[in-house]
Structures are given as structure tokens and as C-alpha cells.
Structure 1
Amino acid sequence: MNEWLSELGMFLAQLLIVAVVVALALVMVVRARSGGGEERSQIRLEELNARRRRRSRRLRLASSEPSVRKRLAKSFRRDDKARGKQGDAPRPTVWVLDFHGDFKASATGKLAEEVSAVLDAAEQGDEVVVRLESAGGLVHAYGHAAAEMDRLRQAGLSTTVCVDKVAASGGYLMACCADRLRAAPFAVLGSIGVVAQLPNVHRLLKRHDIDVEVLTAGHYKRTLTVFGENTEEGRQKFLAELDTVHDLFKRYVAERRPGLDIEAVATGEAWHGTEALPRGLIDEIGTSEAYLAERMNDARVIALSIQARRGLAERLGLSVSQGIERSVERGVEALDASLWQKR
């Protein structure tokens, strides 16, 4: 029995080695064929009008009596034929972009490419809707993201930002670039302020007779440090730099929303949508889905997204990772179910 198990183990090990060799060979073949000329990103377009029409028809069919469904399906086909013969009347296009921001505004590069794509394709009368969600983050990162948003306005395109959850601090810096700003009733907006914090362990190190030397060239090269002893002069200089950034923030928002009482709202506070409206932080209350559904009545609404193209090895790794994750989830569910059965 032990000998049989040993042979089986050897066979499985050899099989695994062969599988790995074959996988590596496939990766090398794919890379050789691509020749390094394949684009690293791909553009995805979806007409939301068509998606809404398909869903509406499915619901109508599901809610109809069986005897009516066949006749209803025929009427849908007739409508499609008639639309194909007549052709759609010229209508403006609403381009929909999405921005989900983290602390470093990592999606800014993707946004920049999408803005360039829209500027290349948009025509007079088109609109750009940005569904934005961000609680802010690094000043320079969100300054870059806001500059990309400004490109739409500078090109003369009508822009609308829809905030369903949050556009605070750096997120609001981006949102104020739009011609119109719309937010859900409980969305969080504002937080026009600047914050910085860092720990200082100088006293702890001193207690253990550990010296840290901070060497700089330039009087204000390092105002506050984590390990060295901070001075009142350095602290005041750091606060002055924060005030400078805050003034830039206020000026940027005030230029794009001239009717806003900037001194009243630039306190670092955040407000929900219904509170932000009377303060002039937004122009109207409503969700992005409701706005896009309204625009579908007189325009083609197209969602545009540029995504990084994954290589074969990356896709294989992602599939394995997702498989392991699903197996763990099923194991946890089975364990949970067994615990309930024992009670």
C-alpha cells in the first residue's frame, strides 16, 4: 500500500512539473507573438440607452402573462426593424466617466487618458458626466486630478459632476471644476481645508540615550521631523506652509464657483447634500442614475472606460487567486452551516 502511494505521489509531482513547463511555454509564445507592440490599455464603451431598453423589455416580458409574451416579443422586433430603417435622428452624446479616488488619487492617470479620448471624439453640444467618489488625500495628487478635470471646461465641453457618496477635500477640489455639481441628499461634500500630522518620538529616544542628527542644507529644508527635536520656529513655518496651501485651495474653488461665500465654507467642515445646496457648494440634489435616466430622453449616453490590459501570466494569477478565494469562502460557509446544524 505504501509503495502504491509513493508511486502515485511521484506521478502527481511529475504531472505538476509538466503543467508548469507547458504554462511557461504558453507565456513565452504569447509574448513572442505580441512582439512588444500590443497596447497596454483598452477602451470600453457601453451605450446606456440600449442597456436600459434591454432591461425594460426583459422586465415587461417577465411580468406579462405567458399568452402575451410571444406577441410582445414580436412587437419588440418590429420596433427594432423600424428603428434600423429610419435611423436615429442626430442627438448629442453624453459621455460618462467614473473616478473612484484613494488617498494618492491613483486613478488620475486613467482619468487623464479618458479625458483625452473624450476630447478627441466629442462634438459641439456634447456633455461629459463624471461620477465622482473621493474623500480626498495628497495635495499634489488631487491638484493633478483637478487639472485633468479643468481640461474639459477649457475645451468648451459642458461638464456635470455627480456625487452619490462623497466628494470632500481633494474630491471637492475636483468636483468644483464642473459647470454643474449634483449630489445625493446624504452625500458628503466640502471639507475645504488642509491637515497634516506626524508623530515625534524624540523624547522616547532621548530617554534611552539615542541621538538622532538631522542634517539639512537650507534653513527650512526640514521644519518638523519624526525623530529629531522640533522647534517652535519650525512649527510656525510648517503652519505657515499649511496656510499657503489652504489659500490656494480657497482661491481655486472660488474661481470655479464665483457665487460661493468661500470664507464661510472654507472652514474644513463637511456637509451633506441637502445642507450643501443652500451654502452654494452644489447646484442641485439628485443621484447620478436619475440624472442619466433623464438625459437618455434626448441624448445618447455612453459610458467610457480605459482599462489596463492584463498579460496572460497576470490573468492566470488572477484566476488562481479568485479560485482560492472562492474555495475559502465556501469552506467558511460550510463551517458556519455545520455549526448551525449542531445547535
Structure 2
Amino acid sequence: MEFLGDYAVFLAKVSTVVIAVIIVLVTIVVLRRDRGRQNNRHLEVHKLNDSYKMLREKLEQALLEKDELKALRKAEAKVVKRAKKQEKTEPKSRLFVLNFDGDIRASAVESLRHEITALLTIAKPSDEVVLRLESGGGMVHAYGLAASQLVRIRQAGIPLTVCVDKVAASGGYMMACIGDRILAAPFAILGSIGVVAQLPNLNRLLKKHNVDYEVLTAGEYKRTLTIFGENTEKGREKFQEDLEMTHRLFKDFVASYRSQLNIEEVATGEIWLGTTALNKKLVDELMTSDEYLAKRATDAELFQLHYIEKKSLPERFGMAFGNVLEKGLLKGLTRLNEQKFWQ
């Protein structure tokens, strides 16, 4: 018995040491991981003027003879020299380019918020922000946050131009309407100022197989419609009331930034192509983002901002699977909508 007692004390001491070592190792791993995450977050800034110049020079090298190219470079050097002298008295305006490729969760807002925070530390009212926006909308709260990030630019007094090359619908248009100007490609899709919610109900299937489903709530409207429970007319009315309230807030938000709109005419949930959207004053001008930026590159310095946060391997796999699933569902719905739209 004495031996067993000593052995138990020995095991207790060993266990204590092992647990202490494990705690220290876990702490070190967590600290290194957090430090690694910090190092994986950074803001990339690219000067688009240099990119345009490189493309032009590459084409000139392929098309011009050696003497012609030499004369052209000599003339360009003189122009650059004069421009530098002029910039000492009249500095070029700056234009900051942001990109937002939206999904249902508006997950790109995580990068957008950091990009806007960064540019607001240096941007002036004489500068301009251009947002290249592509989104078919998604969750109300997610796009509400994304729109609020753009409001920060307006509140700072910095001109905001929103360019839509493909689609800015629903939550996407909620973001677009904040711009001082909205430019759209002729066949871009805009509008869908409405709210939709849909869910299946499996209650009859469960009853058929003698499966009971119970949900307990505190609060009369904690649950209105459910997937498995038996929905009531009162619950449906409350759910519809909530949708209508959200729609009113959506309309008021758009109207506050686009006072030129006939909000009752356009807030029907319909979508329009760029040309029709221009007639309905949903956009201000028909122009692609490439055309606009190429024009501005002649008289302004263009800087493209991109905030990057590298994900771990499991996070990347999870995000990739989620994106594939989401894009598959969206592709199916888009095809159905396109058939309806074009037929």
C-alpha cells in the first residue's frame, strides 16, 4: 500500500509537469500563430499609371521601327520633364481605386473596410475614390455594413465614383447609390431594389413519417416561420411585415443618396440594363471602368489598393468549398432569371 501511495504521488507530479509543459507549448503556438496572422495581413498599392505606360510601350516596341521608337522616347522625355516642373507648382490629383466583388455574405467587406481606413488617413477632398463594383446582392446586414463603409468616404468629403461593369443589384445597388456618380456599362444589370426571403417547410413530410418537431420560444415573435414546424397565418403576416419594413428602409436609404430618382417607380424589385437604367436615373453615365480610368490616367495619379489577409490551409479549403457551392446555386438561379429576362 505504501508503494502504491508513493507511485500515485509520483504520477501526480509527472502529470503536473506534463500539463504545465503542454500549456506552455500551446501558449507558444497560439502566440506564433497570432504573430503569423499579423504578418500575413498587408496592404498592397499599385500605381496604375505605370501599368498603362508599360502596356503602351510594349505595343510601341512591337509596331515601331527603331528610329521611330527612339524619336518617340526623346519626345516623351521632354514631355515628362515639363510635367515634373509643372507638378512642383500644380501637383497632380490622386485617384484611389478599390475593387468589390460581392457574394451573398458580402465577405469582401473585410478587405474593403481596411482599404478605406487606410486611404482616409491620406486622401483629401481634391482626390477621388473609384469603386469598381460587382455584386448581385445578398444578406441585408452584410451589405448594410458594406454600404456603411462607403458612407465614410462621403462623410470625409472625398468624391466617390462607382463603376459597374456587370451587375449591381439589390445590396449591390445599395452600395452603388452612395457614389457621387454612378457609371455603368451599357449592358450592366442594375436595380432590384426589393427584399426577398424564402425557405422550405418540411412539416407535412415529418407528419407523414410520424416525426414530431417541437420548438420552444420566449417572446411572441421569436420564431415566425420555420423549416420543420407548422407555420401559422399569424406568423406569415409578421414575417411579411418584417419584409415590408426592411423594404421601406431600403427605399429610404436609396432615396437619401439618389434624390433624382422616382423611388416608387424603381423600387419594385425589377432589374434593368445600363441604357434603361440611365433613362430611369439609376446611373449618371454609360461608361466602362476601363474607359474612365484610362481617361483619368492622363491627368491624375492612379493608385489601386488591395488589402490582403492570407488564410490558413483549412480556412482556404472551407472558403473554396463554400464559394463553389454558392456559385453553383447562383449560377442556376441566374440562368432561370436570364431565361425569363430574354424570352
TM bucket, shorter chain:
0.7 to 0.9
The one-letter amino acid paired with 1:46 is: H
1:293 Cα offset (Å)? 1.1
Q: Could you tell me whether the CA contact under 8 Å between 1:191 and 1:270 is conserved in 2?
A: yes
TM-superposed deviation, 1:294 = 1.3
On the 8 A contact 2:224/2:235 being kept in 1, the answer is yes
Structure 1 residues 1-343: aligned runs within 5 Å: 38-66=38-66, 68-69=68-69, 72=72, 89-309=90-310
Letter matched to residue 39 of structure 2: E
Q: Quick check: 1:102–1:137 contact (8 Å CA) kept in 2? A: yes
- Letter paired with 1:150: V
Structure 2 counterpart SS, 1:251: helix
Distance 1:226 1:273, change over 3 A: same
Q: How many pairs were matched up?
A: 288
> How far has the Cα of 1:195 moved from its partner?
0.3
Letter of the aligned partner of 2:135 in structure 1?
A: S
CA RMSD of aligned residues (A): 2.8
Q: Which amino acid aligns with 1:201?
A: L
TM-superposed CA distance for 1:38, in Å, is: 4.4
Matching residue's letter, 2:121: D
- For 1:223 and 1:32, locate their aligned partners in 2 and report how far apart those are by CA, in whole Å: 46
SS of the residue corresponding to residue 249 of structure 1 reads: helix
The answer to which of 39-48 and 97-106 deviates more is 39-48
Q: Name the amino acid aligned to 2:52.
A: R
Q: Could you say which residue in structure 2 is the equivalent of 1:339? A: none
Cα deviation for residue 123 of structure 1 reads 2.0
Deviation per residue, 1:101-124 (Å, 9 max, x gap):
000000111100001111001123
Give the Cα–Cα distance (whole angstroms) in 1 for the partners of residues 277 and 306 of structure 2.
30
Give the drift of 1:297: 2.1
Please tell me whether the aligned partners of residues 125 and 159 of structure 2 are also in contact (alpha carbons under 8 angstroms): no
Partner of 2:11: none
Q: Secondary structure at the match of 2:223?
A: coil
Query: Residue type matched to 1:167 in 2?
Result: A
Equivalent residue letter for 1:60: E
Secondary structure, aligned partner of 2:121: helix
- Cα deviation for residue 34 of structure 1 reads 9.8
| C-alpha deviation, 1:194, in angstroms | 0.3
Decide whether the 8 Å contact of 1:61 with 1:72 is kept in 2.
Answer: no
Q: Is the contact between residue 37 and residue 310 of structure 2 (CA under 8 Å) also seen in structure 1?
A: no
- Alpha-carbon separation, structure 2, partners of 1:109 and 1:228: 36
Q: Secondary structure at the match of 1:280?
A: coil
Summarize the Cα distance change of 1:232–1:302 in structure 2 as closer, same or farther, 3 Å threshold.
same
Give the gaps of 5 or more residues in structure 2: 1-27, 321-343
Distance (whole Å) between structure 2 residues aligned to residue 239 and residue 35 of structure 1? 47
Contact 2:93-2:126 at 8 Å conserved across structures: yes
Q: Distance in 1 between matches of 2:310 and 2:205?
A: 49
Rounded to whole Å, the distance in 2 between the matches of 1:179 and 1:280 is: 13
Q: Distance in 1 between matches of 2:67 and 2:301?
A: 34
CA distance in 2: counterparts of 1:66 and 1:296, whole angstroms? 27
Output the amino acid matched with 2:45: L
1:65 Cα deviation from its structure 2 partner:
2.5
Structure 1, unpaired ranges of 5+: 1-27, 322-343
Distance 1:65 1:188, change over 3 A: same
Task: State the shift of 1:183 in Å.
Answer: 0.4
Offset of 1:73 from its aligned partner?
Answer: 5.3
**Contact 1:94 1:301 (8 Å CA) reproduced:** yes
Pair 1:38–1:265, CA change in 2 (3 A): closer
How far off its partner does 1:99 sit? Answer: 0.3
Displacement of 1:69 in angstroms is 4.3
- What TM-score does the superposition give when structure 2 sets the normalisation length? 0.77
The Cα of 1:173 is off from its aligned counterpart by: 0.4
Residue 77 and residue 156 in structure 1: after superposition, are their counterparts in 2 closer, same or farther (change >3 A)?
Answer: closer
Q: Is the 8 A contact 1:190 1:281 kept in 2?
A: yes
Distance in 2 (alpha carbons) for counterparts of 1:277 and 1:37: 45
AA matched with 1:42: H
User: Any idea what SS the aligned residue of 1:142 has?
Assistant: helix
Given the superposition, is the C-alpha separation of residues 84 and 141 from structure 1 closer, same or farther in structure 2, using an over 3 Å criterion? same
Offset from partner CA, 1:309-334 (integer Å, 9 cap, x none): 467x89xx99xx9xxxxxxxxxxxxx
Distance 1:250 1:149 in 2: 18
Q: Is contact 1:39-1:309 (8 Å) kept? A: no
Q: CA deviation at 1:85?
A: 7.6
